[in-house]
Amino acid sequence: MQGIVPAPDALVGKRLDVAISKMMGISRSAASNLIDTDQVRIVGRSSGKTDKAAKLNHFDMIEFDLVEHEEAPEPIDNDMAIVYEDEDIVVVDKPVGVAAHASVGWTGPTVLGSLLARGVHITDYGATGRQGIVSRLDVGTSGLMLVCKSELAYKEMRRQFSEHEVVKTYHAVVQGNLEQDRATIEAPIGRDKVSDFRFTVTPAGKEAITHWDVLERFGEATYVKVNLETGRTHQIRVHFSSIGHPLIGDPMYGANPKLSEITGLDRQWLHAMKLEFKHPRTKVWTVVESNTPRDLRHALETLENRHAARLNA
């Protein structure tokens, strides 16, 4: 991509990296990289590379000189387990490190790409690159994820998810000792103004409701079962962080790195354990369950052993 375009009026006064991020629909870090490598610059602003923090002025012209890269084929996760499949839906047990679908800046495997590469038919319904997907899990969250194979399933399951008819049960481990045995967090969630890849509790956000029950207490951490009434991005992570109990292994939302190191975690302790829904064709109530992955089991055992040692000291 090459060319020169005027600075959009709506972005005048914004930092160049922020403006490029919005203009190209890419992350701010990706935009910063384009500026740092001199693939994007403000015409006539300086003799050298343009500062990514430079503010856009009226009548500025932005020059694009993007280097074309041949895209490498998407890696495939052949080990991702399929735990339920019929003519309408497929439910996978998504490993950590696998995205739901392709996105700007992501070069790892995806659920959709891996299913298609393995010959699983997926409906064409849905946005390009996201066809068949009616709900998602974060890259750093493992567990059950449903993808639609038929048009009928896509329409019906999209409705069930949007109307909160699907019962989604997660297991999580949060820092600290939760005071109550069960409670509900009801707080709106929106994008963080400081970091566009983070989310936060904000009055301007969308409704978000999280229910939790304590499964086991370790003193320094609490093992909980979580049911979501809504499905906002990073909802569980944001809600528990907002009450002072971030998920273990989740530094983005305030986790203690020392506890993450002790438990051997390099991702948040969060797993989608169970999905319950009305089958889109037969209308039969369907329940699909998962098992706790090895790295999360190891972290649990470590916490249990540390708690037992303290009690016996």
Residue 263 in this model has a pLDDT that exceeds 60 = yes
- Catalytic status, residue 138: yes
- Structure token pair of residue 222: 């609490």
Which has the closest alpha carbon to 56: 97, 21, 8, 93?
8
What's the CA gap between 29 and 41, in Å, rounded?
16
Catalytic residue among 36, 51, 65, 138: 138
Domains of the chain: 2-65 (3.10.290.10), 74-163 (3.30.2350.10), 165-313 (3.30.2350.10)
DSSP strand pairing (209-217 vs 81-85): unpaired
Give residue 196's pLDDT.
67
More confident residue, 248 or 64: 248
Tokens of 51: 């500062």
H or E segment and range at residue 111? helix 111-117
> What length is written for the chain?
313
User: How many whole angstroms separate alpha carbon 300 and alpha carbon 306?
Assistant: 10
- Lowest mean pLDDT across 19-23, 67-71, 119-123: 67-71
DSSP 8-state class, residue 286: E
Q: Residues near 227 by Cβ (< 8 Å), separated by ≥ 6?
A: 167, 168, 169, 170, 210, 211, 212
Output the CA angle 202-206-211, nearest 5 degrees: 90
Q: How many CB atoms lie within 10 A of CB 154?
A: 24
Cα–Cα distance between 2 and 7 in angstroms, integer? 15
Q: What is the separation of C-alpha 143 from the centre of its chain, rounded to a whole number of angstroms?
A: 12
For 168-180, write each residue's pLDDT tens digit: 999 999 999 999 9
Residues facing 233 on adjacent strands? none
Per-residue pLDDT at 46 exceeds 70: no
Q: Which of 291, 176, 190 is nearest to 234 (CA)?
A: 190
118: its two tokens? 């393995």
Dump pLDDT digits (tens) for 215-261: 999 999 999 999 999 989 999 999 999 999 999 999 999 999 999 99
Phi, psi of 156 (to 5 degrees): -75, -45
| pLDDT exceeds cutoff 70 at 48 | no
CA distance 71 to 230: 36
Report the share of the chain in percent with pLDDT over 70: 96
